[in-house]
Amino acid sequence: AQSVTQLGSHVSVSEGALVLLRCNYSSSVPPYLFWYVQYPNQGLQLLLKYTSAATLVKGINGFEAEFKKSETSFHLTKPSAHMSDAAEYFCAVSRPSGGYQKVTFGTGTKLQVIP
């Protein structure tokens, strides 16, 4: 079975500080990994995805994530936090199931940005 674990349900950073949201995966096959962001009372928006190409993936809004097979990690980073980054972030893994890809989400990390 494939799954993702997000360490830390809440992360607080100061505006302008580095953002680091952690995600570890377990997978018996090369995984497809995603980061999504959710603003209050809204659906999810894709930040970035890893599909076995480059290990360092750049996404929208200045976010990036690095796939590290040796550490089974796919941590999300942003060099300088902005107030508008305050949201909930979900790491997800995609796996084949019954002829299609089923996406499993982590438990989410709520990011708070302090002015």
Partner 1 sequence: GAVVSQHPSRVICKSGTSVKIECRSLDFQATTMFWYRQFPKQSLMLMATSNEGSKATYEQGVEKDKFLINHASLTLSTLTVTSAHPEDSSFYICSAREDRVGSYNSPLHFGNGTRLTVT
Query: Which residue stretch of 11-19, 28-36, 68-76, 78-86 sits at the interface with partner 1 (rule: CB under 8 A)?
Result: 28-36
Using CB under 8 A as the binding rule, whether residue 62 contacts partner 1 is answered as no
Query: Which residue stretch of 14-22, 46-54, 61-69, 72-80 sits at the interface with partner 1 (rule: CB under 8 A)?
Result: 46-54
DSSP label of 60: G
Asked whether the beta carbons of 39 and 111 are under 8 A apart, the reply is: no
Using CB under 8 A as the binding rule, whether residue 108 contacts partner 1 is answered as yes
Cα 66 to Cα 25: distance, rounded to the nearest angstrom: 13
Cα 86 to Cα 5: distance, rounded to the nearest angstrom: 20
Using CB under 8 A as the binding rule, whether residue 101 contacts partner 1 is answered as yes
Q: Identify which of residues 17 and 105 has a Cβ nearer to partner 1 in the complex.
A: 105
For the chain, counts of helices (H) and of strands (E): 0, 11
Cα 47 to Cα 21: distance, rounded to the nearest angstrom: 13
Binding region for partner 1 (CB under 8 A): 9, 32, 34, 36, 41-46, 49, 51, 90, 94, 98, 100-108
